Structure 1
Amino acid sequence: MKTLLSYMIMLMLLLPACSDSEGEKISVNIKQTSFKFEKEGGSDILEILSNTDVTVRSTETWCKVTDHTSSSTTRQYKITVESNPSQEIRHAKLIVTATGFEEQIPVEQATAPEEKGKYIVRKNLTTQELVNEMGLGINLGNTLDAVGDWINPSSILNYEQAWGSPVITKEIIEGYAKAGYSSMRIPVSWSNLMSADYTIHPDLMDRAETILNWVLDYGMVAIINVHHENDWVKKVPTDAEAKKKFTSVWEQISKRFEKYGDLLMFEPMNEIGYDEIWTPWNGSQANKAKAFGYVNELNQLFVDIVRSSGGNNAKRHLLVEVYNTGDSYAYDPLTKIPTDPANRLALTVHYYAPALFAILGNGEDGGWGIGVPSWGTAEEIKELNDAMEALKKNCVDKGIPVIVGEYACSSKDRTQEVVRLYCVSVTEAIYKNGMCPMFWDVPGAGQYDRLTYKFKDPIFLKEMMAIPAKYPRNKK
């Protein structure tokens, strides 16, 4: 009897406590939703407001959790992360548990930027990030790409000087770099002095590599292409011998430059179109598909050749061209981006609009129109901005990087003020839309003096170099 009475009294004492416990809703309020640490590691505080016991554990040994301070309602835990020795971003989770409660908090730790250098391929560098690094670009125009059957073939340097350029020196390249340019396109006509079996002349190969090294030594990204060879390149999709030549040329280029890292890009050709098949003014939709298809084939063949050459070429960032390098063709449904196992491709387009100002000099008769003296009306500026915004919307925003490999205007019988206005305006429109502008510059009529190693117009250079600061970019 006494035992039963004692049991009943004990039960009565316990009932209110159980009732209070069951009646109070568990509350766990975590103040942080995620943690991010730099490569060096460090520590941070996780704070939890709770009316019940809480445990916190980490899923990874490099991320440790220890008690920091606590009160009746507030608990703090110290999150300590070790230095990240790898070249990969790493992740952990903090598991917060209580009675009937569990939540995961992500922890991310950065890695140090991959080392950048002449012979290094950064495995985590996306093509868009490389485009961002390229900043403002410029062409070494009318130099290694100069052609003509009147040129004295006794020396490869005769070709280099044929269109008005002095022999390129390290100081000339240094001048471009010191001015602020971060990338250089080096157009090359590889057929100059080429042997009958399509072997590139060793002097030309050596010369291209010498200039490339100067470009890379000054920290610029370089592009090497096949230029002014349209007559035979156009035949590649339909002519076995032309295909053999194209394959030989790109196999030789790939082999010679294989050791260079991701600061060197390759570009397959220049302004290839098939006007005899289709133009916007003449030709059926079927003809358009055929013409675009040929350019698509050329791009795929180029990618396949470079990738199969192995070494650094297996991961090299490559340019592929759209039909006639027309800007709106970059997002034409008939333009097919090649299959690429490395997924490291960018599209390249050119911008020479309006043609009566950009291509023809003032008063110059091109047979299809006469050059106009000026540019810069509200309508013309809108045309420019609409074109670049369309490239951003249809390509860049969809993960397709774009390089505007050429743009400029004729300075013939025009003031420097209007030339400057056009060139700076186009540069800004390209850059602010996430693409790389590569100004077409040539000896004599261009903006850079290859004899003094300086730009002729200080205002031109100042306005150009102010553009990147206005539109900061994320770079590796």
Structure 2
Amino acid sequence: MPALLLAAGLSLLPTTGRTQLANPTYGWNLGNTLEATWSGAIMPTQTLINNVAAAGFNTLRIPCAWDHNADPNTHVINASYMATVTQVVQWAQAANLTVIINDHWDGGWFENSNFNTYDPNINAKLVSYWTQIATNFKNYNSKLLFAVANEPAVSSQAQTTVLLQYYQNFVNAVRATGGNNSTRWLVLQGPGGSNIDNTYDWVTSLPSDPAKHLAFEVHYYAPYQYALMSADASWGSMWYFWGSNYHSPTLTTRNATASTEESYVTSQLQKMQSKFTSQGIPVLLGEFGAIRRTGTAGLTGTELNRHLASRTYFDKTLVGQANSMGIRPVYWDDSDSGNGNNTFGIFNRSTGALTRPDDARALTGGAALPPPGG
């Protein structure tokens, strides 16, 4: 299918002159932490943030849950929560990290808000939160970016039109607070769970922005059988191995198919390049990754090592190809619970220590582990 161009007359966004994202970007998500709406999440420390920077990452995405931490009637954000997010942003900027804060799942108040019709009540809450957030951070430099949402549950072109109405009001609210928010980079999430294909097909225009500093965000967890699937199903089995040189000669049913490997990464990212980055519109690959399957029955010894090596190759491929097309990748880390099973985590959240240096190396421009045997 030929590249779908944005609406005629759309102003292109300048990519120079102001900080956007590091080039190349080696990004890391502080996942399942400040956006946690459950008890037991381990709060971040300055040691953790410093170790993220020391491992070679230069960008930190901080998922947030503002609605969960606000008065349900007045929508005033709790001062203690605002102070916590502010502290982490300060630690990150002190470590010379570019920072992105968003409104993550947050109970689904926005992302599952039924985009069939525009809801003034939803919009009022959105404007209230982002006015408060923007006011708090208005004097922070341009290495802090605001991302309006995470994975909006939009399933059609018509719903995307409604989504873009909310996005326009987000832009207006942030710009109205003045200070450095007048030109701060703002990130808009693609429809259908920040899906690449839906974004490519349904986004035909961008909100109006006097600063012309808008970027789009998509996520990448493909193929599902390799990246996220945690149990075999009637329609298909989990895959443990990804990459043309990483296929298992014995566990052959656990190999990803060729059509979902390197060439698929290229074809998907090229859609974002042709539609956005080639026109000067930055793209954030705000989440990507594949679960680590340690503890999986039947996956031991050489084949477990092959799986772990395959993951580093998957990450290196995503990071390298994205950066080569001007797309900025940020790895999803959901914290290492200690047993390491079915997790993305590469840092011990209690101590801040890097527990997976091989993963970190591949995610920050270094080499992937070779498959067992060479």
**TM-score over 0.5 (shorter chain):** yes
- Structure 1 residues 352-385: Cα deviation after superposition (integer angstroms, max 9, x where no partner): 1111211213x355x9754322222443111111
Instruction: Give the TM-score normalised by structure 1.
Output: 0.62
| Higher gyration radius (CA) | 1
**Structure 1's 193 and 453: CA in aligned 2 closer, same or farther, altered over 3 A?**
closer
Match of 1:290 among 136, 140, 158: 158
- Structure 1 residues 89-110: Cα deviation after superposition (integer angstroms, max 9, x where no partner): xxxxxxxxxxxxxxxxxxxxxx
1:254–1:313 contact (8 Å) kept in structure 2: yes
Which SS does the other structure have where 1:463 is aligned?
A: helix
Equivalent AA in structure 2 for residue 224 of structure 1: I
Match of 2:85 among 205, 208, 211: 208
Q: Which position in structure 1 is the counterpart of 2:6? A: none
For residues 203 and 270 of structure 2, what CA distance do their matches in structure 1 show? 20
Q: Which position in structure 1 is the counterpart of 2:229? A: 360
Matched, 1:131 2:21: yes
For residues 223 and 15 of structure 2, what CA distance do their matches in structure 1 show? 36
Matches within 5 A, 1:242-253: 242-253=122-133
- Structure 1 residues 123-162: Cα deviation after superposition (integer angstroms, max 9, x where no partner): x9738862344621110000000013xx4xxxxxxxxxx2
- Structure 1 residues 188-235: Cα deviation after superposition (integer angstroms, max 9, x where no partner): 001224212111111100000001100011101100100113632143
Structure 1 runs of 4+ off > 4 angstroms? Answer: 367-370
Match of 1:229 among 92, 106, 114: 106
**Structure 1's 134 and 203: CA in aligned 2 closer, same or farther, altered over 3 A?**
farther
Matches within 5 A, 1:71-82: none
Q: Which position in structure 2 is the counterpart of 1:460? A: 359
Match of 2:289 among 381, 401, 408: 408
Q: Which position in structure 2 is the counterpart of 1:316? A: 184
Q: Which has the higher contact order (CA 8 A, sep 6+)?
A: 2
For residues 212 and 304 of structure 1, what CA distance do their matches in structure 2 show? 23
For residues 172 and 368 of structure 1, what CA distance do their matches in structure 2 show? 41
Q: Which position in structure 2 is the counterpart of 1:346? A: 215
Match of 1:389 among 263, 270, 274: 270
**Structure 1's 218 and 291: CA in aligned 2 closer, same or farther, altered over 3 A?**
same
CA drift of 1:258 comes to 0.8
For residues 454 and 389 of structure 1, what CA distance do their matches in structure 2 show? 36
Equivalent AA in structure 2 for residue 199 of structure 1: V
1:346–1:402 contact (8 Å) kept in structure 2: yes
Equivalent AA in structure 2 for residue 359 of structure 1: L
Matched, 1:440 2:332: yes
Q: Which position in structure 1 is the counterpart of 2:251? A: none
Q: Which position in structure 1 is the counterpart of 2:314? A: 422
For residues 236 and 205 of structure 2, what CA distance do their matches in structure 1 show? 32
Q: Which position in structure 1 is the counterpart of 2:240? A: 373
**Structure 1's 354 and 455: CA in aligned 2 closer, same or farther, altered over 3 A?**
same
**Structure 1's 245 and 373: CA in aligned 2 closer, same or farther, altered over 3 A?**
same
For residues 368 and 247 of structure 1, what CA distance do their matches in structure 2 show? 43
Match of 2:121 among 222, 233, 241: 241
Which SS does the other structure have where 1:386 is aligned?
A: helix
Match of 2:63 among 159, 166, 187: 187
Match of 1:264 among 135, 138, 144: 144
Equivalent AA in structure 2 for residue 170 of structure 1: Q
CA drift of 1:462 comes to 2.6
1:135–1:436 contact (8 Å) kept in structure 2: yes
**Structure 1's 431 and 467: CA in aligned 2 closer, same or farther, altered over 3 A?**
farther
Equivalent AA in structure 1 for residue 280 of structure 2: G
Match of 2:172 among 280, 304, 319: 304
For residues 298 and 402 of structure 1, what CA distance do their matches in structure 2 show? 19
Let me know the Cα RMSD of the aligned residues.
2.4
For residues 51 and 217 of structure 2, what CA distance do their matches in structure 1 show? 26
The total of aligned residue pairs comes to: 317
2:200–2:275 contact (8 Å) kept in structure 1: yes
For residues 15 and 228 of structure 2, what CA distance do their matches in structure 1 show? 36
1:126–1:344 contact (8 Å) kept in structure 2: no
Between Structure 1 and Structure 2, the one with more strand by share is 1
For residues 311 and 17 of structure 2, what CA distance do their matches in structure 1 show? 31
- Structure 1 residues 395-423: Cα deviation after superposition (integer angstroms, max 9, x where no partner): 21111111100001122336322222222
Gaps of 5+ in 1: 1-123, 152-161, 279-287, 469-476
Identity rate, percent: 27
**Structure 1's 306 and 131: CA in aligned 2 closer, same or farther, altered over 3 A?**
same
Which SS does the other structure have where 2:101 is aligned?
A: strand
**Structure 1's 127 and 203: CA in aligned 2 closer, same or farther, altered over 3 A?**
farther
Instruction: Give the TM-score normalised by structure 2.
Output: 0.78
For residues 147 and 335 of structure 1, what CA distance do their matches in structure 2 show? 34
- Structure 1 residues 291-319: Cα deviation after superposition (integer angstroms, max 9, x where no partner): 11122122211111111111111111111
Q: Which deviates more from structure 2 when the two are superposed, residues 124-133 or residues 221-230?
A: 124-133
Equivalent AA in structure 2 for residue 459 of structure 1: D
For residues 467 and 339 of structure 1, what CA distance do their matches in structure 2 show? 39
